[in-house]
Structure 1
Amino acid sequence: MDLSQFTQAFFVEAIELLAEMEQLLLKLDVASPDSEQLNAIFRAAHSIKGGAATFGFTALTNTTHVLETLLDRARHGQLVLSAPMIDAFLETKDALQEQLTAYQAGKEPEADMVAHICGVLQKLAQESEAAAAPAAKSAAKPAAKPAAKAAPKPVVAAPAPAPVEAAADEAEGDGDGDGVLRIRFSRLSDSECDLLSGELTNLGTVRSRTRANDQFTVLLETTCDPDDIVAVCCFVIDESQISITRGAAEPEAPAAVSEPEPEPELEAEPEAVAMVEAPVKAELVAAPAPAAAAPAAAAKESSSIRVDVEKVDQLINLVGELVITQSMLTQAATMLDPVAYERFLSGLGHLERNARDLQESVMSIRMMPMDYVFSRFPRVIRDVSAKLGKQVRLDTYGKETELDKGLIERIVDPLTHLVRNSLDHGIETPEVRLAKGKDATGQLLLSAQHHGGNIVIEVSDDGAGLNRERILAKALQQGMAVSETMPDEEVWQLIFAPGFSTAEQITDISGRGVGMDVVKRNIQEMGGHVEIHSRGGQGTTTRIILPLTLAILNGMSVKVGTEAYILPLSYVIESLQPLPEHLHSITADGHVIRVRGEYLPLIELHRVFDVSGAQTHPTQGILVIVQADDNRFALMVDELLGQHQVVVKNLETNYRKVPGISAATILGDGSVAFIIDVGAMPRIQRAQAASAAALAGAARRTEAISL
């Protein structure tokens, strides 16, 4: 049977289970472990093992089998946990992640890696058994003596109900119902029935199978918990399709069971009897009444659904095309008589509102909470701080803040680098912090919040802060143009230069000058920018400002000559028409404008994009004041056309990379407008000025030679 239709669901579920396992391991108190947390960690490993065995992932099955054996002993108190043991479990989680990635790519995991991690776990098992042996011997000696006083009463189990009639070809005996689960599956297809039937044989002994229409009932003799069986089956079907009861017969009202007092002469024996007669679990698991459960099961089933990202993206593109079409109709309707076409224009207004609501609803499907990112960092902080000999406490704020899926996956690497920098360069060692009068444990704060049409993500620490003198000295050493009078904000931006590092020695964490420039470039590629604020001895805050989504954009449409462009509103501060006395020339073609006492560079868009027929004198145009990367400057345009949401179209996919242009969109009249890469404008202007100066110099040299 082809299992490929189920493998993707297994991969998704297994990745989620590994993430849950990691979080639980990090929260686990080694000295006094919580039984619920241990059970949850065991169930995660057991579920992954069951799914891996179903799909024939041998390496994954073997690794999780060794892991779950250790976890099972830990949750039953047969294994004493320690910090190195938790480290080994976390290392195993990483290895399982690598194995999943390999199987997802259609490859076999590296044999050396599998052998290494299994060896680590087996060594742990041997060490724990060796440590448990002396304790077991010492515990066995007093147990041989007769009890002098009354011991706990023996457990007397109620007689088990008789088993149901099994299929003739599969019944293996009557049994007494102990350790037997009645598992009912509903709304099952033939392929799902075959797959689950085979999987259950790996979990115990199948005593009978009964199939009636889309109902499938299995009597399974097993030592597995019902929750574990549900977890394994959920790789194939929904939990609402599973009903499990304990015992071979239909559940009945439990009969009253009396516990007789032991005879006086038997008081010395109860301990031995209690060890022989194990208690029977009496709880019923997932056994709702059919009539009452139907609405609840249906509600649970419809509460969520897994959809491929490609399908969501296709839906977003179609809604974007719908919005463009609606915008075209609205544009064309401006030429109609509002009295003669009153009903048509009213309907068009309804269409516009519904299209906007539809667009916002579809866009919300791609939004994911920042907890998806923040949940990765407890492990990073634990590992790095232990390596550096530091004590660090992680606090998070705004985990529920949502960001577009495309952005949230790309923000992980930049944030990881910033966190590692705070741990390495920012937060001091406990001895240094105590000498400064600080708490020995440093604080690292990750926060996210909405601000207008953007999301602001901050990485803050209460460490030593940035060293202004050291940064300037390093910049001078590398030949960078700096001065002692530079404001702090500009000095902090120097650390984003390629190859820049103030670390005194290179470690495996940092010091090579590689990373911060990549962080800034990646953030800019996502349409955002980075700000740094630092105070000596008090800490550093790195702020990342990103648009909420990559698919739609709030923009201001402007006109330059006959061309229309879009300026992202997140960069725009204000617009104005300058007076002659506000303009000052610094070169033949270069100007600055004085706005409320501040001199701002002036960039003429018609020069940047070589647009003919545009206004050439600043006093005849409109200046739009923008801010990007802590730099404020003015963009000269001919006319402001309006503000509206636009659907972003990737220009590189459909054409090629164009300097100064980040993307494109389609306007209401059907024409294409380019979205300006505001952050690249100063760089392009400097490059054009340098090129013009070089050409002028070459012309002068040619003229001198000819003379």
Structure 2
Amino acid sequence: MDISRFHAAFFEESRENLDAMEAGLLALESGTADGETIHVVFRAAHSIKGGAATFGFTAITQLTHQLETLLDEARGGGRRLDAAAIGALLVAVDALRGLLAAAEHRDAIDEPALARAHAGLERMLGRAAAGPGKSAAPTGDAGPGRWRIGFTPAPTLFTSGNDPLRILRELAGHGELDVACLDARLPAFAEMDPFEAYLAWDLMLPGTVPRKAIEDAFAWVEDECELAIEAVPETSALAPPPAGTAGNVVAFDRGGDARAARGDADGSIRVAVAKVDALINLVGELVITQAMLRQRSAQLDPVANEALLAGLEQLDRNTRDLQEAVMGVRMLPVEFAFSRFPRMVRDLAARLDKKVRLRTHGEGTELDKGVIEKIVDPLVHLVRNAIDHGLESPQQRREAGKDETGTLTLSAAHQGGHIVIEISDDGRGLDRDKILAKAAERGLAVPDNPSDAQVWDLVFHPGFSTADRLTDLSGRGVGMDVVRKNIAALGGQVEIRSRKGAGTTVSIRLPLTLAILDGMLVSVGGEVFILPLNAVVESLQPASGDVRTIAGEARLLRVREDYLPLVDLAAQFGLPGGRGGAALAVVVESDGSRLALEVDDLLGQQQVVVKNLEANYRRVRGISGATILGDGRVALIVDAAGLAQAQRLQAA
């Protein structure tokens, strides 16, 4: 059998186990772990080791063998996991990530990183560096004779993908293994249940094998089998272990009812993202078709076609429910983004000699998978900024009368059809005077008597920073323009709140999904365009005197006390009917800039399914995507952020 087809599942499950190990180790270090945490970490390591051994990934097997040896001493009470031991374990976790990536992509192994991981674990185990994968000599917990092992798998052991032969191969690696296969429970052929397991094994191993090694071989199937381990004299004959054996017998039998209950509770399956995306695309097509039917049915006689119209109305409700259900498949808890920060905060705090307490709220808040993947980089930058330049050193905090341990808070919450993610610290806060001085030095335009929000907005200018010393980690303000640009590309907004000496909060507002858009339909030059509703500020019908032309070309629209750039969408996209004066104007805001878009008519609001125009046609300046309307026509979605950026470049 070609087992390489199972590699993808192994790599995915191993990465999940590494995440569980890292989270558990950080909890142990911070003192927030419970008594089960060390066992969770050990089982995760043992699962990776077993899978790696099955697929022949020797380097992974050797490193996890060392790692679980240290963990086994800790879970047995023979070792306390101090900061140094947890540090060595975390280095090993990093090395395992590298080994998994190398095995998955068939790249070369990072030998220096692997050697550091082995050396760190060897130091913690208190033995001379004997080379990767060499274990200590067996300890004398075995009896003077042999080990007899009775092993009866439950049906769930096979249905969960475990292979008893893998366990036998692992046991055979410790010494000469005698195996007897028992079928005493085998019924008549007509009474056989294809989902039942009728076979059992009676095994013998030399007494020099550590009992712990035997228990470890069965550790990941102990809930799915009946297991008895007994020390017997060398002269004992090979026979099934007696029922009810006491003393050295260890039994792991949770019973059929418990196993069935556990199987019923495990109601998840793994599905490739491509399949989910294909399903969402098909539902999008169904929504478009349903919208077409609704538009055509509006012309029917409601009396003569009462039954048909009632059926179409029911189809409308069912389609809407189906759309929401399918979109929920791509929704993931924001914990998938937050989970990487405990380790990063720990390492940065140690590197900068600071004390940082990380708190998270709303990890269960759900967000589209695509949005989560694209928001991680901005969050990483903001967290680094907060630790490097936001939080003071322990001495500075003591002098300011604060707790020497700074607090960094990540929170997420739903607000309407959006999610708001906030990164807060209780550090020194932004310095208003310093920012204004830096803006004057760079010649940036600043309004008279600017508000705090206007001052904080200055840090989003490219290259803006007030840091006295820039580091390789961050600079408060350095790269903030990229943060805002990336968030704007997701249809989101970012703002800063700060108080000197009390801390800073960066608030990010994002749409829940990128696949569906709430839009305003407008008519321009006989075509229909979609304006993202979250970018629309207001619509108005300007008077002729409100439009001004400067430098012979640029046009400005007066909106109360402000003058905004006026963009003729018909001229922008080469459509007939461009005007010298605006009939209707829609004010949009993106990336902190406002501009007015000249349109012919407002057609209403509608939720539309977003189609990727670049993948199906080509990139069009000022257009972010497309959709299909109920009458079958294609409508382009206006890129408000792109138009705003073009206006800024033109003004510069």
TM-score, L = length of structure 1: 0.78
Measure the CA separation in 2 of the matches of 1:226 and 1:319. Answer: 52
Q: Residue in 2 aligned with 1:4?
A: 4
- CA change 1:374–1:228 in 2 (3 A) is farther
Relative to 1, partners in 2 of residues 1:175 and 1:510: Cα closer, same or farther, differing over 3 Å?
Answer: closer
Q: Report the alpha carbon displacement of residue 424 of structure 1 after superposing the two structures with TM.
A: 0.8
Q: Give 1:93's aligned amino acid.
A: V
Helix, strand or coil: the match of 1:79? coil
Which consecutive unaligned segments of at least 5 residues does structure 2 have? Answer: 130-144, 187-193, 206-210, 231-238
The answer on whether the counterparts of 1:245 and 1:287 sit within 8 Å (CA) in structure 2 is no
For 2:169, the equivalent position in structure 1 comes to 201
Determine the structure 2 residue equivalent to 1:24: 24
Offset of 1:176 from its aligned partner? 8.2
The Cα offsets for residues 176-218 of structure 1, whole Å up to 9 and x where unpaired, read as: 85x54322345958x968x541344214657334587553634
Pick aligned residue for 2:365 from 401, 406, 417: 401
| d(CA) in 1 for partners of 2:226, 2:518 | 53
Of 633, 648, 652, 2:614 maps to 652
**2:69 is aligned with what amino acid?**
T
User: How far apart, in 2, do the equivalents of 1:227 and 1:403 lie?
Assistant: 42
Q: For residues 374 and 225 of structure 1, do their structure 2 counterparts lie closer, same or farther at Cα, with a shift above 3 Å needed?
A: farther
- 324-333 vs 456-465, greater mean Cα deviation: 324-333
Aligned residues: 608
The question of whether the paired residues in 1 share the 8 Å contact of 2:593 and 2:644 is answered with no
Q: Does 1:668 align with 2:630?
A: yes
CA contact (8 A) 1:73 1:79 kept: yes
Matches within 5 A, 1:346-425: 346-425=310-389
CA contact (8 A) 2:226 2:251 kept: no
Q: Which deviates the most, 103-112 or 422-431? A: 103-112
Say whether 1:243 aligns with 2:225: yes
The separation in 2 between residues aligned to 1:672 and 1:361, in whole angstroms, is: 26
Distance 2:30 2:649 in 1: 60
- Of 154, 165, 181, the match for 2:151: 181
Structure 1 vs Structure 2 CA RMSD: 3.3
In structure 2, distance between residues paired with 1:231 and 1:641: 65
Change (3 A) 1:206 1:627: farther
Task: Supply the distance in 2 between the matched residues of 1:57 and 1:117 (Cα, whole angstroms).
Answer: 17
Residue 647 of structure 1: CA displacement? 1.0
Distance 1:686 1:20, change over 3 A: closer
Q: What does 1:521-670 correspond to in 2, within 5 Å? A: 521-579=485-543, 583=546, 585=548, 587=550, 589-595=554-560, 600-618=564-582, 620-621=583-584, 623-670=585-632
Ranges in structure 1 where 5+ consecutive residues have no aligned partner: 130-173, 258-278, 691-707
Shifted more, 495-504 versus 560-569: the winner is 495-504
SS in 2 for 1:546: strand
Q: Aligned letter for 1:198? A: R
Contact 2:229–2:248 (CA<8 Å) still a contact in 1? no
Tell whether the 8 Å contact from 2:335 to 2:363 is kept in structure 1 after alignment. yes
**Taking structure 1 as reference, are residues 33 and 676 closer, same or farther at Cα in structure 2, changes over 3 Å only?**
closer
Is the aligned partner of 1:75 residue 2:75?
A: yes
Report Cα offsets for 1:85-121 as digits up to 9, x if no partner.
2111111111111111111213342233222321221
Partner of 1:265: none
Shift of 1:229: 5.8
Q: Give 1:476 shift.
A: 4.0
Q: Per the alignment, in what secondary structure is the counterpart of residue 44 of structure 2?
A: helix
- Structure 1, 393-402 or 116-125: larger mean CA deviation: 116-125
Deviations 1:235-280 (A, max 9, x none): xxxx8xx33344699999969x9xxxxxxxxxxxxxxxxxxxxx54
Report whether the alignment pairs 1:219 with 2:201: yes
Superposition pairs for residues 48-67 of structure 1, below 5 Å? 48-67=48-67
User: Does the aligned pair in 2 maintain the 1:370–1:408 contact within 8 Å?
Assistant: yes
Report the counterpart of residue 256 of structure 2 in structure 1: 288
* Cα distance change on mapping 1:62 and 1:85 into 2, 3 Å: same
Q: Percent identity?
A: 49
TM-superposition CA deviations, 1:129-167 (whole Å, max 9, x none): 9xxxxxxxxxxxxxxxxxxxxxxxxxxxxxxxxxxxxxx
**Which letter does structure 2 place at the counterpart of 1:680?**
G
Of 481-490 and 651-660, more deviation after overlay is shown by 481-490
Deviation at 1:607, TM superposition (A): 3.7
Q: Is the 8 A contact 2:227 2:252 kept in 1?
A: yes
Name the SS of the counterpart of 1:663 in structure 2.
strand
The CA deviation at 1:598 is 5.6
* Cα displacement (A) at 1:494: 2.9
The answer (yes or no) to whether the contact 2:98–2:110 under 8 Å persists in 1 is no
Does structure 2 conserve the Cα–Cα contact (< 8 Å) formed by 1:246 and 1:285?
no
TM-score by length of 2: 0.84
**Against the structure 1 CA distance between its residues 473 and 60, is the aligned structure 2 distance closer, same or farther, given a 3 Å change threshold?**
same
Deviation at 1:501, TM superposition (A): 2.7
Change in CA separation of 1:55 and 1:671 when aligned onto 2, cut-off 3 Å? same
Aligned to 1:705: none
Distance in 2, matches of 1:70 and 1:450, equals 43
| SS of alignment partner, residue 349 of structure 2 | helix
Change (3 A) 1:386 1:183: same
Q: Which residue number in structure 2 is paired with residue 340 of structure 1?
A: 304
Q: Which moved more, 1:29-38 or 1:435-444?
A: 29-38
CA distance in structure 2 between the aligned counterparts of 1:498 and 1:477, rounded to whole angstroms: 14
Contact kept in structure 1, 2:167 and 2:217, CA below 8 Å? no
Segment drifting more, 640-649 vs 356-365: 640-649
How much has 1:584 moved relative to structure 2?
5.2
More displaced 10-residue stretch of structure 1: 79-88 or 353-362: 79-88
Counterpart amino acid of residue 601 in structure 2: E
**In structure 2, distance between residues paired with 1:377 and 1:584:** 50
Instruction: Give the structure 2 partner of residue 450 of structure 1.
Output: 414
Alignment of 1:69-148 (within 5 A): 69-126=69-126
| Greater C-alpha radius of gyration | 1
